Amino acid sequence: MTIQECVVESIQRAVPELEASVIGEMLEIPPDKKMGDYAFPCFRLAKQFRKAPALIAQDVAAHLKEEDLFEQVEVVGPYVNVFVNKEKIVELVRDAFASQEQFGSSQEGEGKTIVLDYSSINIAKPFHIGHLRTTAIGNAIHKLYRYLGYNTVRINYLGDWGTQFGKLAVAYRKWGNKELVEKQGIQGLLDLYVRFHKEAKENPELDDEARAAFTAMEHGDEEILSIWRWFVDISLKEVAKVYELLDVQFDSYKGESFYMDKVDAVIEELKEKKLLQESDGAMIVDLSDADMPPCLVLKKDGSSLYTTRDLAAAIYRKKTYDFYKCIYVTAFDQGLHFAQFFKVLEKMGYEWSKDLVHVPYGLVSLESGKMSTREGQVVFLQDLLDEAIAKTKEIMQEKNPDLENLDEVAKQVGVGAVVFNDLFNNRIKDVTFSWNKVLNFDGETGPYVQYTFARASSILRKADYQTFRPEDMKGEYLTDAYAQDLLKIIEEFPKKVHEAAERYEPYIITRFTVALASSFNKFYHENPILSAEQEELRNARLAMTKMVTTVLKTGLSLIGVQAPEKM
């Protein structure tokens, strides 16, 4: 049982008329530690017991004073403030940690599949810092749900179809050079894409050529399709390097093109269910009853759209994976698109449409303004990661030139700094990218947490204390304020994991690791570990240190950041 569950159980014995869940909702944590570990307000009981809240508080306190769980119970007006027995806190956290490396995990998701659609890069366009958000958030959500026992299916829904390929095909025919594109890779394709948009401003007919080229693709024009396949190959080879650096993997790379032969069936189904209507030559689904604009399903020329392919993909995924939830991690500004296509599926009679979830995130802009692939105004993610690794290596060569595996550790810390920074705030918050901020390793950063883990690991190596021994955690040696604060933070970890998964908010874990690292550093500075005056005291503190390394490593892994043992 958690500390809070024990407190709730004790209060329920004092007030048996209340359900445990109600007591849990009423329980508060005082703003000042001097006021107790928990406070139980009695206002809402006045009507039920026909008594003044302050008198009810005195009755509850009288019962709680008989409980071994508390070392002190105080009445402050209508509040009952309780101080939990410090040795009992040690015992509770020690017992909760029995599963060690699996602490905070569960089997609640057993037999349930979560499909995650994230990263979803656009072929023939650079993997830039804007894509880091969907990739890092999606990867963390996958890890959180996997840790809670769910089967997760990671899908990189490639943007490998659409009018942009018509634009690229036209640009390549007019200005392209096969050898140069092979040599330059994605940069070469980006140059062609940027040039197309510059030229199209002066010559709008180019847009008509691009639309015609894409329509030809959809009708099987082999010349354009061969160029398209080549662009796809070039793109996947390049992005594979970034995914390798991020240590991100996928179970499927089925992109929009995979669903092209499944679109007609969706159109037919929409017609059969009398949902499809003509509007100015295009085909739509009316959503006015849901207070939304109409959902465009086919263009005037009969070409499919993003929505058409998304409908086909959702139906395919339900049939293939029978998901419990299908989660889409994309930018906030795509909210209407997802609301529309979820509603269309509901109108089609698919009861499981309620299991589709859009997880939006804020946009990334540059200090110089909004990013634009068309204008070539982007920061390549590969460049950012390389720069972070180089800076980290430089710092480490100054501070620890004899470090083993310097290059590998620099990669773990440099990449970790970038990912940690991206996941530090609520995902819906817009982000202004700053080289200085991302590569600043001081304060609440990934390198700070990693360094704390490495420091704690060093202590354990010196003491040859590699296996957690519950019997070492004797309560009488861990009653000081720093040990108690650390124990209370550790105990919160399972709740934080569950909350982060339930809310699709990795930052909850990111911030938790900072709080845990900060608390351990205070504990470490105030409590000598290796030089403790008694062996039992030393072992108790070593057991705590081992607990911290285990939870820090797990927390970092859940947000896709590695934990090097030496830095």
Q: Which residues are catalytic?
A: 125, 128, 131
Q: Which amino acid makes up residue 383?
A: D
Q: How far apart are CA 120 and CA 252, in angstroms?
A: 11
Q: Nearest CA to 451 among 390, 385, 507, 395?
A: 395
Closest CA to 515 of 540, 546, 551: 551
List phi, psi (to 5°) of 548. -65, -45
Residues composing the chain: 567
Q: Identify the CA nearest to 329 among candidates 364, 362, 359.
A: 359
How far is the C-alpha of 143 from the C-alpha of 158, rounded, in Å? Answer: 21
Secondary structure of residue 329 in the 3-state scheme: strand
- Distance separating alpha carbons of residues 471 and 469, to the nearest angstrom: 5
Gap between the Cα atoms of 313 and 338, Å rounded? 13
358-394 as b/e: b if 16+ CB within 10 A: bbbbbebbbeeeebebbeeebbbbbebbbbbbebbbe
Taking a C-beta distance cutoff of 8 angstroms, is the pair 132, 122 a contact?
Answer: no
d(CA 449, CA 553): 10
Residue found under tokens 């010196």 = 462
C-alpha angle 449/451/455, rounded to 5°? 120
The DSSP code for 51 is: S
Residue 473, amino acid:
M
Taking the C-alpha atoms of residue 341 and residue 312, their distance in angstroms, rounded to an integer, is 11
Strand, coil or helix: what is 121? coil
Q: In the structure encoding, which two tokens stand for residue 71, read together?
A: 């070392």
- Angle of helix 129-147 relative to helix 535-558, nearest 10 degrees, comes to 120
E strand spans, 165-209? none
Which uninterrupted H or E stretch holds 224? helix 222-246
Q: In what order do the strands lie in the sheet with 276-279?
A: 276-279, 282-285, 295-298
Q: d(Cα 276, Cα 268) in Å, to the nearest integer?
A: 9
Q: What string of H, E and C letters represents the secondary structure of 387-427?
A: HHHHHHHHHHHHHCCCCCCHHHHHHHHHHHHHHHHHCCCCC
